[in-house]
Amino acid sequence: MIKIDKLWFSWHGKSANPTLNIDALHVKQGEHLFLHGPSGSGKSTLLSLLAGIQVPQQGSITLNGCALHNLSSAQRDQFRADHIGYIFQSFNLLPYLNPIENVTLACEFSKLRKQRALSHGDSLTVVAKKLLVQLGLDEQHHHKAVNTLSIGQQQRVAAARAVIGDPEIIIADEPTSALDEANRKAFIELLFAQTDKTGATVVFVSHEHSLASLFSRVVHLDELQGALS
Q: Does the pLDDT value for residue 122 go beyond 80?
A: yes
**Region 121-137 average pLDDT:** 96
Between 38 and 6, the more confident residue is: 6
Cβ contacts of 109 within 8 Å, gap of 6 or more: 81
Percent of the chain with pLDDT over 90: 78
**Region 132-161 average pLDDT:** 94
Domains and CATH numbers, the chain: 29-54+83-218 (3.40.50.300)
The mean pLDDT value of the chain amounts to 92
- Position 41 scores a pLDDT of 83
- Position 227 scores a pLDDT of 47
**DSSP conformation class of 199:** T
- Position 228 scores a pLDDT of 36
- Position 226 scores a pLDDT of 65
> Could you give the count of Cα atoms lying within 13 Å of 187 in the half-sphere of its Cβ?
26
- Position 8 scores a pLDDT of 94
**Interatomic CA distance for residues 186 and 183, integer angstroms:** 5
